[in-house]
Amino acid sequence: MWLKPEEVLLKSALKLWVPERSNRYFVLQRRRGYGEDGGGLAGLLMGTLDAVLDSTSKVAPFRILHQTPDSQVYWSIACGASREEITEHWDWLEHNVMKTLSVFDSNEDVTSFVQGKIRGLIAEEGKGSFIQEEDPEKFREAILKFEKCFGLAEQEKLVTYYSCSYWRGRVPCQGWLYLSTNFLSFYSFLLGAEIKLVISWDEISKLEKTSNVILTESIHVCSRGEDHYFSMFLHINETFLLMEQLANYAVRRLFDKETFESDLVLRDPLQITKRGLENRAHSEQFSAFFRLPKEETLKEVHECFLWVPFSHFNTLGKMCISENYVCFASQDGSLCSIIIPLREVIAVEKADLANKGVSISTKGKRAFRFTEVKDFEHLVAKLRIRSGATSSPHHTASTEVATTSDSDNLVDYYEGQLMASQKGSSKTVSTEALMTVFHPQDADNLDSKMLKEKMKEQSWNILFVERGRGISMFRTKKTRDLVLRGIPETLRGELWLLFSGAVNDMATNPGYYTELVEKSLGTCTLATDEIERDLRRSLPEHPAFQSDTGISALRRVLTAYAYRNPKIGYCQAMNILTSVLLLYAKEEEAFWLLVAVCERMLPDYFNRRIIGALVDQAVFEELIRDHLSQLTDHMTDMTFFSSVSLSWFLTLFISVLPIESAVSVVDCFFYDGIKAILQLGLAVLDYNMDKLLTCKDDAEAVTVLNRFFDSVTNKDSPLPQAVQQASNLNDTKSYHPKVDITDLIRESNEKYGDIRYEDVESMRCRNRLYVIQTLEVTTKQNVLRVVSQDVKFSPSDLEELYELFKKEHFLSCYWSANSPVLRHHDPSLPYLDQYRIDCQQFRVLYHLLSPWAHCANRDSLALWTFRLLDENADCLINFKEFACSLDVMYNGSFTDKLKLLFKLHIPPAFTEVESLSPSKGDDLSKEELIHFSQLNVSSPVDSQEADALKRSPEKAGKEKIDIQAYLKQWQDELLKKEENIKDLPRMNQFQFIQFSKTLYNLFHGDPEEELLYWAIATVTSLLLKMEEVGRRLQSPTSPAKSPASAAESSADSQNTLKKDSASQQTECRNVQSTRRGDHEWSFAFEQILASLLNEPALVRFFEKPLDIKAKVENAKTSQLKARTRV
């Protein structure tokens, strides 16, 4: 590898380098301790130094120095891992550079020319590859070391590397940690002790920062039950963040493809870089904190001051700028924040040049003034271009406060936009919140509750006057306090839309919902069937959902969302949430609120495996251990909290609390996100702590919590008694003291308000790995339970086979941007079909595990075995099919093994195979293998069975699933009888010759090889003579060719087979060319079985016990290398 020229003052470097070749301008050196001198003490010392000091010589023990006569300064210009590599560089220098150097007059010119030439070579080699790295030269050296140490595929992308210590027991081993797209790798070499660790990200179940007495601060990695600790990082937080991102990226790519496929940034693993991951993390934090669309990318961050007009002071914070938004958050995160959509901006100008001020004016006569902005002039120019704003506002904008009339104008503008988006759609889309239709407020009859409600409204109106109204309002501690007290009924829809960020989605997509409703109208899918079933179960106690008005609106919103996002479609609990949204928001607003909840605020909650909810339950358990340790000490099984809290998270407490109390929880959720639900859950458990500690079992604890929820009230709720009827019925039966929801929410914030948003997100990332690995363990256990009934492998061997099978599936995904295997993993399928492999993957496993893999024609055997197992002809097999085939090879009887070999040589498994590259012999390329695996070969399969395969529900693809077809297929499998050997079709002449060739190949290397060859030749001759006698008896006058000579020639050919593979192929082609012209002969399986049973050597060969353990252990170490070669 060419190196950036660097000075070397001592060419021998304390005798660590030994010269091997030299000329007038260059010296080729070898590292002492390598090569001819052997290892010894020098080798150990050099290896240790190289590993600890990050020297490239550990993997590049050769180097070339540039020298000039009469100079003591040398320049390193190349290094090599092998003598061949460095010699190639040396030869290139002699042929291309040496002749040119003689024309220069001075040594300085020579050195300058050599340095320029080497830099040009480096630039040409790495064109575009290392542009995004901070130190391209150093990164090139790290890549070289990474590739040589671990031998992974060339496509494996190194993201970054760190110096650290790996702890083996209580001994730290200093080395280098390499983070790549698919693996965490560590290398250390200390005094002859080499440590090489490779862990794939998809195997990690725990990744966390820890500290104890020995390790002050370390990173703990748990993979397949083994714990690994890394410490002594220079920047441990940066390292941990990147590890966390890479692990979650791999998990999403391999296990959760539904969300991954929509992520265009990470779909190509070859494009992932350290800087890209860091930028992505910052963008995700930015969009999540300010509730912006996920597509927003953080472009710039400026530390500056924002003028707060209602408090008359400047607050220090950070201005964050994306493509479409300017946002600001004060440094404590909750004191003050604003969001300015560039679509609302009408002017951007420089203000107060001495203080580097920027003024942004928006519609509604509002202006925001930022000062002490670094490079403010360029920022003003950029914002003007992005927003299309002018240099001065069209009207005078006040930087002090927004007047009441301004607020009214803003509301009128917002309402005008909403009406415009719904123009012409009033026939299909409701333009009023259901609460205003079914519970209109009576202004003349104000009771005490309505008076309190009006007081709440007045408090919010005062806030709007001070801090503005709409998307660009100032959000402060006072805003949070008002939310905790409960949002007024009349403002709830507007503020939900604002705090959730759904207002941005609706503003940037006018008319989208109406168009979606029209497209989805009348569609019939599995999702629409489930929606229809659940419509009447959504808040049935509320009058709005006892009428067609509410039911129709609910149907339209849910169906439109299922049409928009078919990967989620419809999930139970979405109906309950949407019905509450429709009470307070207009129909289109409710739709965009549902989008915000499902796709941003509660990610992965409403997919098939509700991974997001399970992750947040794990976070909840962690918080219980931290804050309610007394309760965790009493509860022996933490799964109780998971089972009881699932509905809390999926429905935001709506399903367990009375509706008048639940909406107050939803208020907090839209302002604070999942943090509000976690805090309230802790408060509920804390409130009932004493009673839960006395419970003897889970059922009693559930009863305690249910009684508590029944007693929660909202004394200030203006909802009519008809709506609260359901909870009132329970009041007479409950002796639990009443608890006001406002007091409960306030208590949850006082006790657990110190839980930070950043900590929750960190716990989410950490627990996501654990949750997905737990789901994978459940899948594995179910698959093994089913397969173990059909095979004779021990449970431990079967588990190891499953891990190898699954690993092969993933290895095919690692280095392909659009791997078809990724499409094969579908968690919605039955357990057995979640992981399937194609013919190429099967071949790799066949070579590693099959006892017949030593055959010369092993590729053909692997192909035929795959075709035999692929009964539904979709070019994929599952683990059960794979394990059953291996079980026959290892644990089957003589008859079972012979029957398998027989079936491999008749259709549909058998197909004529011939490599297009004669030099490869019987080996097949990947393209040839895939081609042959997809060939359709006519076989004597019953037409009814063929029709049944065509009607298989799996062939339906994305269409509606036919449940009846699944049940019929399941019933047929249960009733399927053991295959009778008499039902097997006969084997023709060409197939029999291939069958004989396979037997010969199987015997190669066996201690009784000669005896086995003689036995198979005897059996072949006997079968041919039997066929001749049988044919003469059937047609004695037939002038067919004499099979006696055929028997002799066949026996001779069989003897020739074992000596010369070329003559095997020639003989095979000769027989194949003549068989079509002559009357063919064929054999039944019973004939072949009976003949082989007469040969003891053959019986001993097939019945000798075989142990798969050694093959499995070898496969575990060789699988990655085998896939790398492929």
pLDDT for 932 equals 65
Average pLDDT value over all residues in the chain: 81
Instruction: Please report, rounded to a whole number, the percentage of residues in the chain having pLDDT higher than 70.
Output: 76
Q: What is the pLDDT of residues 475-485, one digit of tens each?
A: 999 999 999 99
Q: What is the pLDDT of residues 75-116, one digit of tens each?
A: 888 888 778 888 988 988 888 888 778 778 788 888 888 888
Q: What is the pLDDT of residues 373-428, one digit of tens each?
A: 988 999 999 999 988 866 554 443 344 343 334 444 444 444 444 444 444 444 46
Contacts of 334 (CB under 8 A, 6+ apart): 477, 480
Write down the H helix ranges in 388-422.
404-421
Q: Are strands 712-713 and 739-740 parallel, antiparallel or unpaired?
A: parallel
Instruction: Please report, rounded to a whole number, the percentage of residues in the chain having pLDDT higher than 90.
Output: 41
Q: What is the pLDDT of residues 226-254, one digit of tens each?
A: 999 998 888 888 899 999 999 988 887 77
pLDDT for 821 equals 56
Rounded to the nearest 5 percent, the helix, strand and coil shares of the chain are: 55, 15, 30
**In this structure, are residues 1054 and 996 in contact, taking their beta carbons and an 8 Å threshold?**
yes
Structure tokens belonging to residue 438? 């079914």
* Per-residue H/E/C for 1066-1078: HHHHHHHHHHCCC
Q: What is the pLDDT of residues 559-617, one digit of tens each?
A: 999 999 888 889 888 999 999 999 999 999 999 999 999 999 998 888 778 888 999 99
CA 509 – CA 558 distance, rounded (Å): 18
Coil, helix or strand at residue 229:
strand
pLDDT for 381 equals 92
CA 885 – CA 909 distance, rounded (Å): 13
Buried b (16+ CB within 10 A) or exposed e, 252-288: bbbbbbbbbeeeeebeebeebbbeebeebeebbebbb
CA 773 – CA 703 distance, rounded (Å): 32
Q: Is the pLDDT of residue 666 over 70?
A: yes
The closest alpha carbon to 487, from 575, 414, 420, 584, belongs to: 584
**In this structure, are residues 807 and 223 in contact, taking their beta carbons and an 8 Å threshold?**
no
CA 803 – CA 783 distance, rounded (Å): 12
**In this structure, are residues 279 and 298 in contact, taking their beta carbons and an 8 Å threshold?**
yes
Is the Cα dihedral 878, 879, 881, 885 positive or negative? positive
Q: Is the pLDDT of residue 1039 over 50?
A: no
DSSP 181: S
The closest alpha carbon to 464, from 517, 416, 527, 407, belongs to: 407
Q: Which residue has 């008859």 as its token pair?
A: 895
Q: Is the pLDDT of residue 1040 over 60?
A: no
CA 325 – CA 312 distance, rounded (Å): 25
pLDDT for 384 equals 92
CA 518 – CA 533 distance, rounded (Å): 21
Other Cβ atoms less than 10 A from the Cβ of 165: the count is 20
pLDDT for 637 equals 72
The closest alpha carbon to 314, from 399, 214, 440, 437, belongs to: 399
> ∠ CA 576-760-646 to the nearest 5 degrees?
30
pLDDT for 6 equals 83
Q: Which residue has 């039997």 as its token pair?
A: 1026
pLDDT for 219 equals 93
Structure tokens belonging to residue 1017? 């030749």
Q: Is the pLDDT of residue 14 over 60?
A: no
Distance of CA 868 to the CA centre of its chain: 32
> ∠ CA 1072-1075-1079 to the nearest 5 degrees?
165
Structure tokens belonging to residue 40? 């010894």
DSSP 1036: T
Other Cβ atoms less than 10 A from the Cβ of 924: the count is 27
- Average confidence (pLDDT) over 862-884: 92
Structure tokens belonging to residue 842? 């099967």
Q: Is the pLDDT of residue 680 over 90?
A: yes
How would residue 929 be classed by pLDDT, with cut points 50, 70 and 90?
low
State the DSSP H helix or E strand holding residue 749, giving kind and residue range, or none if neither.
helix 741-752
pLDDT for 1097 equals 92
CA 532 – CA 555 distance, rounded (Å): 7
How would residue 934 be classed by pLDDT, with cut points 50, 70 and 90?
low
Residue 164 has phi, psi (to 5 degrees) of -165, 180
CA 525 – CA 536 distance, rounded (Å): 19
CA 731 – CA 715 distance, rounded (Å): 14
Which of 176-180, 210-214, 350-354 is predicted least confidently?
210-214
**In this structure, are residues 929 and 913 in contact, taking their beta carbons and an 8 Å threshold?**
no
Phi-psi region of 70 (alpha: psi -120 to 50; beta: other; left: phi over 0): left
Write down the H helix ranges in 857-935.
858-869, 879-891, 894-904, 926-933
Is the Cα dihedral 248, 253, 255, 256 positive or negative? positive
Q: Is the pLDDT of residue 490 over 70?
A: yes
- Average confidence (pLDDT) over 527-538: 89
- DSSP assignment of 581-640 equals HHHHS-HHHHHHHHHHIIIIISTTTTSTT-HHHHHHHHHHHHHHHHH-HHHHHH-S-THH
Distance of CA 200 to the CA centre of its chain: 13
Other Cβ atoms less than 10 A from the Cβ of 535: the count is 18
- Rounded to 10 deg, the angle between the 989-1003 and 1061-1075 helix axes is 170
At 829, which amino acid appears? L
Coil, helix or strand at residue 371:
strand
**In this structure, are residues 1073 and 814 in contact, taking their beta carbons and an 8 Å threshold?**
no
Phi-psi region of 458 (alpha: psi -120 to 50; beta: other; left: phi over 0): alpha
Give the torsion through C-alpha atoms of 1031, 1034, 1039, 1043, to 10 deg.
Answer: 10
State the DSSP H helix or E strand holding residue 196, giving kind and residue range, or none if neither.
strand 193-200
Burial (CB count within 10 angstroms: exposed 0-12, middle 13-18, buried 19+), residue 865: buried
Coil, helix or strand at residue 90:
helix
Structure tokens belonging to residue 792? 């004779």
> ∠ CA 95-96-102 to the nearest 5 degrees?
95
CA 614 – CA 759 distance, rounded (Å): 17
Q: Which residue has 């660097």 as its token pair?
A: 6
Over its C-alpha atoms, the chain yields an Rg (Å, rounded) of 37
CA 341 – CA 327 distance, rounded (Å): 8
Structure tokens belonging to residue 365? 């006569």
Give the torsion through C-alpha atoms of 953, 958, 961, 967, to 10 deg.
Answer: 30
Q: What is the pLDDT of residues 760-815, one digit of tens each?
A: 988 998 899 999 899 889 999 999 999 999 999 999 999 999 999 999 888 877 77
